[in-house]
Amino acid sequence: MAAADAFSKYKADFSALDGSADIQQQVREMQEPAWNNFEATRQFAYELGQLKSRSIDAKAFAAALTIGEVAPLQYVVTVVYDTLREDSSCFGTLAQGLKDGCNVTVPLMGLVQGSNAYVADKGAWILSSIMAHSPKHFSGETLQDFLGALTSNTSCSTLGVLEGLTNLLKSEELRAKVWSPLVADRILKADTSSNSQLLYKTVFAIWMVSFDGKLSQSLPGKDIVKMVKDVLTTCRTEKVIRLTLTLLKNFLDNKAQNPAMCELIVEEEVLGAVQQLEYEKWRDSELYDTIKEVSQLISSEVKEFSNFDRYLKELESGALTWGFIHSSKFFGENVMKFENMEFKAVKLLANLLATSKDATTLAVACHDLGEFVSLHPLGKKQVARLGVKDRVMELMASQDADQREVRREALLCCQKIMLNKWQDAAGVEKK
């Protein structure tokens, strides 16, 4: 699905996620300013009087933005904001104004850098939307100036900043120019814990980036996947859940451009979080179909990524990390493959146990050897042949502060080795 087509599907969601709702409603109910009383707008009084009829005159709008009083500014940015959201064809009027030399950029930038947060938020939304609709009318320098103001020197709220950035990311022409470490940091580190609006915008921004193969590879994969899993586990706002599932589907459908992200989706066990959504009550019945579709896509990835070749590849890398291929399910399905190449995997695990200094690698190696001993008929004999038990007991007795996880896994591994010995002894006595 192309970004433009995908966005149209979610267009209705934004009307329900406006910020500053109370102020916005008050402004909508306020009396229209007497434009004749302001020198800057006196000659445009008629044109400004037509604003609520969805008629925007670029010159009149630019003039109104220079008024120094808060109330008229709140009024004009709110009416224009509402008009542009309800009728996108009005962007054409502003684009024509830019073409004719009417520069609304400077006064809008002034609002973004002003002292009133509400006006700054609406100014940022309007300017970023105009840029996204008419990118050819803005130089790279102007875009970077706006991004600089939006991400640092601004009175905008966090939601206002995110709305401005996501508006720009909607434009395929601007996306690569907008996405930078600074922008990514501002989006991904926004505190979304108590605000579904912010969470929605954050997921939306990542979704837009996921359409670009090169930009997608710049995403901090593990952080993104953990965030996605956390959203699916803790959030119950339907719009957010639907968009998060769509983001996952985009990653999975475009696996070729970012295979590492798909691998992380499997390793972080996102499948369980998605499947759990089926047991929730959702108003939108179509959401259940989306949940099942994404579950099936991730299940296919799980089958592909949980193969023994990938496990061997990680062992050969010399660094082990917790993940799906170290789960009980993986060992249950693949333990007999440990016989391949004269128990090569067991030898590699034993070597890592003897040579690695990394605590996580040692802990995972102990865990995997314990699983092997428990599940493979020749597990105990292979471990004994390699002299693994002595090293496991040595790790179990370690007093190093950073070896707590290693000690725990070594103890469990040792118990499994000894348990097998007791079982063997019991078998001999019965005979």
Segment 342-367, tens digit of pLDDT: 999 999 999 999 999 999 999 999 99
Confidence of residue 17 (pLDDT cuts 50, 70, 90): very low
Nearest to 188 by CA among 160, 156, 149, 162: 162
Integer angstrom CA distances of residue 204 from 186, 365, 385: 14, 39, 55
User: Is residue 16 pLDDT above 60, yes or no?
Assistant: no
User: Is residue 155 pLDDT above 80, yes or no?
Assistant: yes
CA dihedral 323, 194, 219, 261 (to 10 degrees): 30
Element of type H or E holding 291? helix 286-305
**pLDDT tens profile 70-89:** 999 999 999 999 999 999 99
Rounded-to-integer distance, Cα 322 and Cα 146, Å: 42
Nearest to 413 by CA among 370, 362, 382, 383: 370
- Tokens for 100? 């004719």
Rounded-to-integer distance, Cα 275 and Cα 259, Å: 22
Rounded-to-integer distance, Cα 262 and Cα 89, Å: 39
Residue with tokens 């008009």: 83
Window from 109-118, 125-134, 376-385, 419-428 with minimum mean pLDDT: 419-428
Rounded-to-integer distance, Cα 291 and Cα 287, Å: 6
Other beta carbons within 10 Å of 139? 10
**Residue range 166-194: average pLDDT?**
92
Contact assessment for residue 108 and residue 123, using Cβ atoms and an 8 Å cutoff: yes
pLDDT at 426: 47
User: Is residue 2 pLDDT above 70, yes or no?
Assistant: no
User: Is residue 392 pLDDT above 60, yes or no?
Assistant: yes
Rounded-to-integer distance, Cα 300 and Cα 46, Å: 62
User: Is residue 421 pLDDT above 80, yes or no?
Assistant: no
- Tokens for 271? 């499948």
- Tokens for 182? 């600074």
**Residue range 60-78: average pLDDT?**
95
**pLDDT tens profile 217-247:** 999 888 999 999 999 999 999 999 999 999 9
Spatial CB neighbours of 217, under 8 Å, sequence gap ≥ 6: 257, 258, 260
Confidence of residue 111 (pLDDT cuts 50, 70, 90): very high
Contact assessment for residue 47 and residue 60, using Cβ atoms and an 8 Å cutoff: yes
Rounded-to-integer distance, Cα 82 and Cα 13, Å: 15
pLDDT at 22: 78
**Residue range 52-62: average pLDDT?**
92
Rounded-to-integer distance, Cα 112 and Cα 380, Å: 69
User: Is residue 15 pLDDT above 70, yes or no?
Assistant: no
Rounded-to-integer distance, Cα 40 and Cα 44, Å: 8
At the fourth CATH level, the homologous superfamily of domain 309-430 is V-type ATPase, subunit H, C-terminal domain (1.25.40.150)
pLDDT at 5: 55
- Residue 15: is it exposed, middle or buried by C-beta count within 10 angstroms (0-12/13-18/19+)? exposed
Confidence of residue 20 (pLDDT cuts 50, 70, 90): low
Rounded-to-integer distance, Cα 178 and Cα 166, Å: 10
pTM for the whole structure = 0.77
pLDDT at 83: 94
**pLDDT tens profile 309-344:** 889 989 999 999 988 889 998 999 999 999 999 999
pLDDT at 7: 56
pLDDT at 128: 98
Sign of the dihedral through C-alpha 32, 34, 39, 43 = positive
User: Is residue 276 pLDDT above 80, yes or no?
Assistant: yes
**Residue range 197-223: average pLDDT?**
92
Contact assessment for residue 108 and residue 125, using Cβ atoms and an 8 Å cutoff: no
Residue with tokens 């706002």: 237
User: Is residue 424 pLDDT above 80, yes or no?
Assistant: no
- Report CA 311 to chain centroid distance, whole Å: 27
